[in-house]
Amino acid sequence: MLTVGLIGKTNAGKTTFFNAATLLNAKISNFPFTTKKPNTGTAYVCDICVCKELDLKDNPLNSTCIDGWRYVPVKLIDVPGLLKDAWRGRGLGNQFLSVIGQADALIHVVDASGSIDAEGKISQPGSGNPVQDAIDVEMELYRWIAEIIMHNRQFIIRESSSSSLEDAIARSLSGIKANTSSISKALAKSRLTEVAFAKWTLDQTIKFAAFLLPLTKPTLIIANKMDILTSENYLGMLTQYYGRSLVAACSAEAELVLRRAEKMGLLQYTPGQEKFRIKENAKLTAKQQGALNYIETRVMAKWMRTGIQQALNTVVLKLLKSNMIFPVSDESKYTDHHGNVLPDVYLMPEGSTPVDLAREVHTTLLKNYVLSVDAKTGIRLPKDYHLRHRDVVKIVTRSKPRKRR
């Protein structure tokens, strides 16, 4: 399962985002360093299901389909907040940086209202500097990667004498899933191909890490707390600094309130939707009504949606470029062996082939793989075909050899 890590300064709203996306109840507070251990849960990525275009009623098994939208599970990890100089042991975050090494992509939650001071305490909205907060957190990640490289210096020098420098660095950075192709790109971008590795300074190693991080962990910046008025201004600054495609406006708290109210049966609301509807028979307290009014005026009317679902979709479908692929056993009925229509969907990285899909679904499918068929057209797919978003694929396998009597 794809894994997405939540990082950010303390009090930015990581656990609120985590709880909203997973509907778990990890502790949230306005004190710094509330999260002391990583939280892990299941969130969902969604897009239009193929059941709509094929006009079918589906029976999802490994995912969920709501009103023609397919929700696919991904693993979400929330870690303690990072502060400037975390790598020196300030705050709690550095103890858990290795946890985000497991992630395929990152969501970097920033308090866009500018309410967090240098010590991580909540102060007056507008008094902080969200762009600087984001830069500080990134710097901690660069330093953390640079420290791993420096720590493994002798190992890398020894290994690179018998293999390549890229391979040697990749081996020392296997804990953060850095591959040789990203390492060569980062070497070229940082112009360190021209400097002998043994002579790299700390600054040069940090520069290399800064180019490597976005290649190894595609990252979306979340401008959180958009319900607070000061956020609009800082959203503009974050967008200017990181580019529009890498920043998403969100209100994690609004999403958490809506999803909990929906779970209590008070509302009709599906994550990602632009509207929520209070149920006719719902008896709301004055406080609940006030919270929903606030969300309506400060979030939905202004930003259209809370932004949490879109952020998850952007990270997985756009930044990681994953495609939703539906394997089936009967290509004429789009079913599995038990007659379930479009039962499963897999998130496959761009460039994956039908053979990769077979490997992902089951090792026996891979072992007995013969060919695959595009169920929508009935056309046989070449072995090196690059699967496309929302393909429905039948994998044909060798039939089991009959047992001898």
In whole angstroms, the minimum distance from the beta carbon of 25 to Mg ion comes to 12
Contact 392, 375 (CB under 8 A): yes
- Main-chain dihedrals φ then ψ at residue 246, nearest 5 degrees: -110, 10
Residue 80 or 327 having the CB closest to ligand GTP: 80
12 binds, among Mg ion, ligand GTP, none (CB under 5 to 8 A by kind): ligand GTP
Residue 35 or 309 having the CB closest to Mg ion: 35
In whole angstroms, the minimum distance from the beta carbon of 255 to ligand GTP comes to 8
372 binds, among Mg ion, ligand GTP, none (CB under 5 to 8 A by kind): none
Task: Give the separation between CA 31 and CA 45, rounded to whole angstroms.
Answer: 30
Residue 34 or 152 having the CB closest to Mg ion: 34
38 binds, among ligand GTP, Mg ion, none (CB under 5 to 8 A by kind): none
Instruction: Give the tokens for residue 259.
Output: 């999803």
Residue nearest to ligand GTP (CB): 81
Residue 15 or 352 having the CB closest to Mg ion: 15
Residue 36 or 151 having the CB closest to ligand GTP: 36
In whole angstroms, the minimum distance from the beta carbon of 8 to Mg ion comes to 9
Q: How far is CA 303 from CA 240, 251, 254, in A?
A: 18, 9, 12
In whole angstroms, the minimum distance from the beta carbon of 81 to ligand GTP comes to 3
In whole angstroms, the minimum distance from the beta carbon of 35 to Mg ion comes to 3
| Binding residues for Mg ion (CB under 5 A) | 14-15, 34-35
Q: Is 150 exposed, middle or buried (0-12, 13-18, 19+ CB in 10 A)?
A: middle
310 binds, among ligand GTP, Mg ion, none (CB under 5 to 8 A by kind): none
In sequence order, which residues have a C-beta less than 8 Å from that of residue 315 and are 6 or more positions away? 4, 105, 106, 107, 218, 220
Give which of 227, 229, 247 is closest to 239, Cα–Cα: 247
In whole angstroms, the minimum distance from the beta carbon of 13 to ligand GTP comes to 3
| Binding residues for ligand GTP (CB under 6 A) | 8, 10-16, 28-30, 32-35, 80-81, 224-225, 227-228, 251-253
Which helix (H) or strand (E) is 5 found in, with range? strand 3-8
Residue 120 or 272 having the CB closest to Mg ion: 120
In sequence order, which residues have a C-beta less than 8 Å from that of residue 340 and are 6 or more positions away? 59, 61
Contact 96, 36 (CB under 8 A): no
Residues paired with 230 in a beta bridge: none
Q: Is 126 exposed, middle or buried (0-12, 13-18, 19+ CB in 10 A)?
A: middle
Residue 28 or 365 having the CB closest to Mg ion: 28
Residues paired with 9 in a beta bridge: 82
In whole angstroms, the minimum distance from the beta carbon of 245 to ligand GTP comes to 22
Residue 20 or 176 having the CB closest to ligand GTP: 20
Q: Write b or e for each residue in 18-41: b if 16 or more Cβ atoms lie within 10 A of its Cβ, otherwise e.
A: bbbbbbbebebeeebebbeebbbb
42 binds, among Mg ion, ligand GTP, none (CB under 5 to 8 A by kind): none
8 binds, among Mg ion, ligand GTP, none (CB under 5 to 8 A by kind): ligand GTP
In whole angstroms, the minimum distance from the beta carbon of 210 to ligand GTP comes to 23
In whole angstroms, the minimum distance from the beta carbon of 36 to Mg ion comes to 9
Residue 133 or 166 having the CB closest to ligand GTP: 133
11 binds, among ligand GTP, Mg ion, none (CB under 5 to 8 A by kind): ligand GTP
231 binds, among Mg ion, ligand GTP, none (CB under 5 to 8 A by kind): none
Q: How far is CA 45 from CA 111, 233, 310, 379, 394, in A?
A: 23, 29, 8, 29, 23
29 binds, among Mg ion, ligand GTP, none (CB under 5 to 8 A by kind): ligand GTP
Q: What is the dihedral of CA 46, 50, 52, 55, to 10 degrees?
A: -160
Residues paired with 6 in a beta bridge: 78, 107
